[in-house]
Amino acid sequence: MRKYLLLAAPLALAACSDDAAEAQMVKEEAMVEEDVAAVTTANGTLPGTHEVTGPDGIITTATLNPDGTHSTVDADDNVLEEGTWSVVDGKTCFTNSLDVDQDEPMCWEESAPGEDGSFTATKDGVEITVRPRTM
């Protein structure tokens, strides 16, 4: 009988530690999901790569990273903007470290995303169209 108890005790402890490890893993996964969900533009769009069409029809590619950084490149992959992005007062705002004259972030008011994820953004009467490339 003693032999069985000696064998059963480590197995019981292992089972408990597996349950605890699994519970911790589930908790950590939930925290990661919350962090990802918390990082969105003002209209709820997730970070990623977006095609941006300006009022002049010129198309650029903007990448918003979950860490709050962004960059925009033209069709030839020349970097036009890079900096940080955040949501301030219900608008998505961008800094541009390449523009020495930019004193304040550029803040865009966004429409609700359509079924395909595209939306318009407006700043000072200028409207652009944004289409997610990756969602």
Q: Are 96 and 83 contacting, i.e. CB atoms less than 8 angstroms apart?
A: yes
Q: Reply yes or no on whether the pLDDT at 7 is more than 80.
A: no
Q: Are residues 7 and 60 in the same domain?
A: no
Note the pLDDT of residue 120. 98
Q: Reply yes or no on whether the pLDDT at 10 is more than 80.
A: no
Instruction: Say which residue, 17 or 129, is predicted with more confidence.
Output: 129
Residues 6+ apart with CB under 8 A from 96: 81, 82, 83, 102, 106
Task: Please tell me the number of Cα atoms within 13 Å of 118 on its side-chain side.
Answer: 9
Report the share of the chain in percent with pLDDT over 90. Answer: 67
Question: Which domain does 119 fall in, by range?
Answer: 48-132
Note the pLDDT of residue 24. 62
Q: Are residues 107 and 77 in the same domain?
A: yes
How high does pLDDT run on average in the chain? Answer: 83
Q: List the beta bridge partners of residue 120.
A: 129
Q: Are residues 17 and 61 in the same domain?
A: no
Note the pLDDT of residue 32. 44
Residue 17, classed as helix, strand or coil, is helix
